[in-house]
A and B are shown apart, each in its own frame.
Chain A
Amino acid sequence: MFEEIGTTTEGDLIINVGPQHPATHGVLHLVITLNGETIKKVEPHLGYIHRSIEKMCESLTYRQFIYVTSRMDYLSAHINNHACALTVEKGMQIEVPERAQVIRVIMDELTRIASHELWWGAMAMDIGAFTPFFHAFREREKINEIMEETCGARLTMNYYVPGGLMAELHPDFQKKVKEFIVLFKRKIDEYDELVTGNIIFINRMKGVGILSKEDAISYGCSGPAARGSGVNCDIRKLYPYAVYDKVQFDEILETGCDSLARYMIRIREMKQSIRIIEQLIDNIPEGDFQAKTKAVLKLPKGEFYTRVETARGELGVYIMSEGATTPYRIKFRSPGFSNLSALDHMARGSKLGDLVAMMGTLDLVIPDIDR
């Protein structure tokens, strides 16, 4: 697996980054061919955290398989669960109560903020600023506390079930979320002051990791990585699910095509997420949090595909059903896998030091890539 560290016949240097490297945020292994300090090739070696979730799901029932998906993109656990629940609901034609749909959207957006905050802190740390990490984790902790009260977990939530939610909201939920909104609106401006306007930061990000619009589409990029290149790809806008068609928010687009554009997308997206939560938090309808469903779910014969927008991009859940209690085949189209495939193209010709900025702004979560 490890290629010999040394020089090739053309005099190029081959180095290994990872699988245990602080900048890869997980067990990603890159084999990099260098000419001097210039990157000639980046070759990802995957599979260090491959759990074969797709195969595992083939022997789990439609109620059970949702919980495994929290372990894919663990920073978007709620949104992964949402995609799976939606697919099963589509197959079974279950009408989800309005209350559950609204709560799902609030939870999804809180997850998105928490994920972007972790990304912001970690990315700033990668390129040499240590303080933002603590700022980001301080606010992220508030979201984790809100989640913990309602779901009982801080990372692998498992709160969504086919037909609605697993349990009722915690009585303090609305109060805590409103407190968080007030706090976060003040803090997000602090983030900008701390990092966004910093001249050293801009110099390290601007013009680094260029990905043109055509290439972003061809490489199958989605989420902030593609929107930084001006691709309209927000699934919440294009194919609205839950109550996304009833709330006002903007799809954030940047045309810079570089790392700075991808950075700005996420910062601006957090503000949009707050906007969505503000519209919904006082308008959670009364009623059931879960639809009445059969004890044993059997999807009819056929295939079902759902697309949702996670914090990293488009997650697709493809179920091929043979009419049994377990799926015949499940495919998770994870956003990170496609986004990573563009890394080699972006990195060629740039300096080794800039690779960290590119990886940071692609927001790679390795369990999501390996599945």
Chain B
Amino acid sequence: MNNEELKIKITELLPAATFDETGEWLNIHVEPADWLSFAGKLRNEDSLFFDYLFCLTCIDWKTHLTMVYHLSSTKYRHNIVIKSKLDAAKPEIESVSHIWKTAEFHEREVYEMFGVNFINHPDLRLLILPDGWEGKNPMRKDFEDPINMIKL
């Protein structure tokens, strides 16, 4: 499917979705509350079949956080980017690790680095940071560590 066809199909599934075509792929903005049911449709709808989540990450915009999901279909070879804006004070979104199993590890990484809480994640624990890590989340923009300096 090309971007126009994708837009029509996705508007059918989620009328509240907004689009942005400035990037390489079609960007779709989704409210965190809509994400779980929408993700399931993206994966299971026969004409979309987004079965490959090839990148999952988060961006700290200081005022808010944005979750970014890069999805691809191994059958149709179309790609989309899903973005969801989260509240910086209490970032929360549903986990999609039962839809795409790779999300389990990626969400754990985002959880510890950005402090995003993934609702219904099967095993939300620290993955990279040492046990008993206290303090801020390292990838947040306001993180400073004068002893183990990361910024060069």
User: What residues make up the interface of A, taking CB atoms closer than 8 Å to B?
Assistant: 1, 44-47, 50, 52, 54-56, 58-60, 215, 217-220, 222, 231-233, 238, 302-305, 307, 314, 316, 318, 320, 328-329, 331, 333, 337-338, 340-342, 345, 370
Q: Are B151 and A56 in contact (CB under 8 A)?
A: yes
Which residue numbers of B lie inside 8 Å of A, CB to CB? 22-25, 51-55, 57, 59-60, 68, 70, 74, 77, 100-102, 104-106, 109, 127-131, 138-139, 150-152
CB-based contact B152/A56 at 8 Å? yes
Residues of A near B131 (CB, < 8 A) are: 1
What are 26 pairs between A and B in contact, CB < 8 Å? A1-B131, A52-B138, A52-B139, A55-B138, A55-B139, A56-B152, A59-B151, A60-B152, A217-B74, A218-B51, A218-B100, A219-B101, A220-B53, A220-B54, A232-B74, A305-B24, A305-B55, A305-B70, A316-B55, A318-B70, A320-B59, A329-B59, A331-B55, A333-B54, A333-B55, A338-B105
Q: Is the pair B101, A47 in contact by a Cβ cutoff of 8 Å?
A: no
Are B52 and A217 touching (Cβ within 8 A)?
yes
Tally of contacts, chain A with chain B, CB under 8 A: 93
Q: Which residues of B contact A328 (CB under 8 A)?
A: 59
Give the 8 A-B CB pairs with smallest separation, nearest first.
Answer: A220-B102, A47-B128, A341-B105, A331-B57, A333-B55, A218-B101, A59-B151, A55-B150
Per DSSP, are chain A's interface residues mostly helix, strand or loop, or mixed?
A: mixed
- Within the complex, the shortest CB–CB distance from B110 to chain A, in Å, comes to 10
Is the pair A56, B55 in contact by a Cβ cutoff of 8 Å?
Answer: no
Minimum CB distance partner of B60 in chain A: A329
Cα of A218 to Cα of B22 in the assembled complex, Å: 28
**Assuming the A-B contacts A1-B130, A238-B77, are A52 and B23 also in contact, with contact meaning beta carbons closer than 8 angstroms in the complex?**
no
The DSSP consensus for interface residues of chain B is loop
Whether the Cβ atoms of B105 and A314 lie closer than 8 Å is: no
CA distance A1 to B132 in the complex (A): 9
Chain B, residue nearest A2 (CB): B131
A1 to chain B: which residues have CB within 8 Å?
130-131
Q: Report the bound CA distance from A338 to B129 in whole Å.
A: 18
A371 CB, min distance to chain B CBs, angstroms: 9
Closest CB-CB distance, A44 to chain B, in whole Å? 8
Residues of B within 8 A of A220 (CB): 52-54, 100-102, 106
Q: In the complex the two chains form, what is the Cα distance from A20 to B136 in whole Å?
A: 29
Q: How far is the CB of A177 from chain B (nearest CB, A)?
A: 33
> Given A318-B55, A338-B102, A302 and B128 touching (CB < 8 A)?
no
Additional pairs, 16, CB under 8 Å, beyond known A56-B150, A218-B101, A220-B106: A1-B131, A55-B150, A59-B152, A219-B101, A220-B53, A222-B54, A232-B74, A238-B77, A307-B54, A329-B60, A331-B57, A333-B54, A333-B55, A333-B70, A337-B105, A338-B105
| Chain B residues near A341 (CB-CB < 8 A) | 101-102, 104-105
- Which residue, A220, A222, A302, has most C-beta atoms of chain B within 10 A? A220
What is the minimal beta-carbon distance from A170 to any residue of chain B, in angstroms? 31
Closest to A213 in B: B74
Flag if B22 contacts A302 (CB, 8 Å).
Answer: yes
Q: Which of A54, A238, A303, A337 contacts B23 (CB 8 A)?
A: A303
Smallest distance from the beta carbon of B22 to chain A beta carbons, Å?
6
Q: How many whole Å from A214's CB to the nearest CB in chain B?
A: 8
B-chain residues with CB within 8 Å of residue A58 when the two chains form the complex: 151
Considering the chains assembled together, what is the distance between the CA atoms of A222 and B130 in angstroms?
A: 28
With a cutoff of 8 Å between Cβ atoms, the chain B residues found around residue A56 in the complex are: 150-152
A219 partner residues in chain B, CB cutoff 8 A: 101-102
* Candidates A45, A232, A316; contact of B70 at CB < 8 Å: A316
Q: Which residues of A contact B74 (CB under 8 A)?
A: 217, 231-233
CB-nearest residue of chain B to A222: B54
Tell whether, in the assembled complex, residue A50 and residue B60 are in contact, meaning their CB atoms are under 8 Å apart: no
Contact B101 A215 (CB under 8 A): yes
Residues of B within 8 A of A333 (CB): 54-55, 57, 70
CB proximity of A157 to chain B, nearest CB, Å: 21
User: Which A residues are in CB contact (< 8 Å) with B102?
Assistant: 218-220, 338, 341
Q: Which residue of B lies closest to A50 (CB)?
A: B128
> Which residue among A55, A59, A320, A337 has the maximum number of chain B CB atoms within 10 Å of its CB?
A55
